[in-house]
Structure 1
């Protein structure tokens, strides 16, 4: 028996010992001669287990949503798959429902073909995760819950679709969990469809154009990232400016070192600006969630810290944007109340800059002079640039 198959056998023994089928959470008994499964027991109910209506919090749960413009080629919207497009693809053959499903073909004997997403949750709250799967030794589970339970799994679905279900209760400090599906070593392709994470949603994000504070501070924010100049980088370094950067994933991925360098001043951070710079108010909430969550995942992967602030393109947002942002773990949807981009000096309230003002700029060939002009306006008002996230906590 190979090492991988030995590990598989050991895993089956462990899961069979650790878990038991639960009628309230599992797919029910298998028909005679049909597939078998194991479902994990539910976690203990927390004090907020019934907090708010139950909704499906998964991003792109049916694999029906299109990839945003400027997204990585072959990426599955809302999902991060370890093998990338070489292993995971949205297919239109024999979906469980709708027109599409996810099909994963592990590329080698060392791959389980895992696909995962981060789901924002409430602490001390019970959630039910489920998915319809097809294949051999397919697993569904969640990590980072604070009270982890074993995954739901099936030995085989017998060629058809079978629902896996598991329940978990989040810990007192859990605000997100990692939902995953995967196969097993040397067990061949598997398919996934109609994923659900049912439970109460996080409260909507807060919309803001400035930061309430009596401190004599102002916040410099810089969007997009298409034009990165050494002059702007030098000005930021020479003046020790804390910068809140909102790059799009494509330019950030093209030159991540630049964004790391221009955000080294304490208080600086890199936040979320969507994938494609689309007016989100033209999209339904599910697609807005893909735009925000996929950009969050890209920034986290590139820079190691998950964004907590979202800058809506064109400052266009609606109630769906606030909930989609919250479902991606975003606390604040931020616009601005002054614009110093491309030679402008626009302040959208009477008088000079005021404490807590958010200044909009862009990564363009004029940014060095824009920063100089914004800094002079702040100095004239007796204000100093400060770190935005420090004031939003």
Structure 2
């Protein structure tokens, strides 16, 4: 269907859709109970920044709405403090042209075979709330008009046996004008918390080189990695990664290498609320997916600072492992935080700095002394 529909044609089409979504502006699947994977777990709200109350980081994409990816960017979507449904803020969307429906969306981690309820308060004409990627068809909830006030949309869905993430979206309709969204919810059992570790349990004679941040990228470090065919696990922040994505593709080209999650703005997560932690981790995940095409499964907490909320927030962002380290070879250091030399399964911390080539050389020499070989981290954490 062409997006350049007249308002009359859009209304006619949506009137037909009303047969599947009556005036209650709510739809549900036929499943009425949680599946086996989530039967005993409490229902919580899994949406990221559901009330649009969390401010954007200075290191995030300019004009972005934390937790959300809006197709029209800041030209269409922004946070407003004018007449929210609750709290101090809401999402305001003004489609920029006749070809835009103003969609904003986010990825939500879920349990397979489990029932969830998605809801949102909306204001405007022909506003939609829906979910894709469940493994089953799910009809969106929508309303023809909220008559100037706020109206709740609700849709229920049950995930398929292989579904671990779904895409939650809200949008208006072509040529139907601005709309607003607030108090979004995806209620159901949360994924199991991520596991925390500083090393990898293995009897293999291997060690893992990890490199954080990404602000200083040197050709010397790149050459050393290529010459020695070192598997590197990179934890870049989204901004430097997006500034020079080809560099990170090159330095992680050795088999076993990967690019993982290190937050958006490098905060001490223990000073943040669970909702703020989730924004930091999920937004970094989304940025890495946009830049490199793969979703991270490992999270390196800045300053190695994490708590129980971090493990759950990470899981809500699709992260399986929260990883620190037990050795630090950054900035000329050679610190091993246990007795003796490097041991099998040790994780070595380094940073993308102007000393990295020398740091890698010392770390490789320390591994050789201990009879260890660098290996790819992700394959050992499965």
1:304-363: CA deviation from partner (whole Å, max 9, x where unpaired):
001100000000000111111111111000000000001111111111111110000000
1:151-181: CA deviation from partner (whole Å, max 9, x where unpaired):
0011111111000000000011111111000
Q: 1:329 aligns with which of 315, 318, 328?
A: 318
Q: Offset at 1:20?
A: 4.3
Q: 2:21, 2:142 within 8 Å by CA — same for their partners in 1?
A: no
2:137 aligned residue: 148
Q: 1:37, 1:155 within 8 Å by CA — same for their partners in 2?
A: no
Counterparts of 1:287 and 1:122 in 2: how far apart (Å)? 22
Q: Offset at 1:39?
A: 2.2
1:207 aligned residue: 196
Aligned residues, how many? 378
Q: 1:378, 1:384 within 8 Å by CA — same for their partners in 2?
A: yes
Give yes or no for the alignment of 1:42 onto 2:29: yes
Q: 1:217, 1:355 within 8 Å by CA — same for their partners in 2?
A: yes
SS in 2 for 1:287: helix
Q: 1:55, 1:198 within 8 Å by CA — same for their partners in 2?
A: yes
2:228 aligned residue: 239
SS in 1 for 2:283: helix
1:5-53: CA deviation from partner (whole Å, max 9, x where unpaired):
3763564255334x244xxxxxxxxxxxxxx453222242433353311
SS in 1 for 2:208: strand
Counterparts of 1:14 and 1:353 in 2: how far apart (Å)? 67
- Structure 2 length-normalised TM: 0.96
Shift in CA distance, 140/50, structure 1 to aligned 2, threshold 3 Å: same
| Unaligned residue ranges in structure 2 (runs of 5+) | none
- Structure 1 length-normalised TM: 0.93
Q: 1:64, 1:100 within 8 Å by CA — same for their partners in 2?
A: yes
Give yes or no for the alignment of 1:196 onto 2:198: no
Shift in CA distance, 2/316, structure 1 to aligned 2, threshold 3 Å: closer
Q: How big is the alpha-carbon RMSD for the aligned residues of Structure 1 and Structure 2?
A: 1.5
SS in 1 for 2:37: coil
- Matching of residues 1-393 of structure 1 within 5 Å: 3-5=4-6, 8-9=10-11, 11-13=13-15, 15-17=17-19, 19-21=20-22, 36-44=23-31, 45=33, 46-393=35-382
Q: Offset at 1:63?
A: 0.5
Q: Deviation above 3 Å: which 4+ runs of structure 1?
A: none
| Unaligned residue ranges in structure 1 (runs of 5+) | 22-35
Q: Offset at 1:3?
A: 4.6
Q: 1:43, 1:147 within 8 Å by CA — same for their partners in 2?
A: no
SS in 2 for 1:112: coil
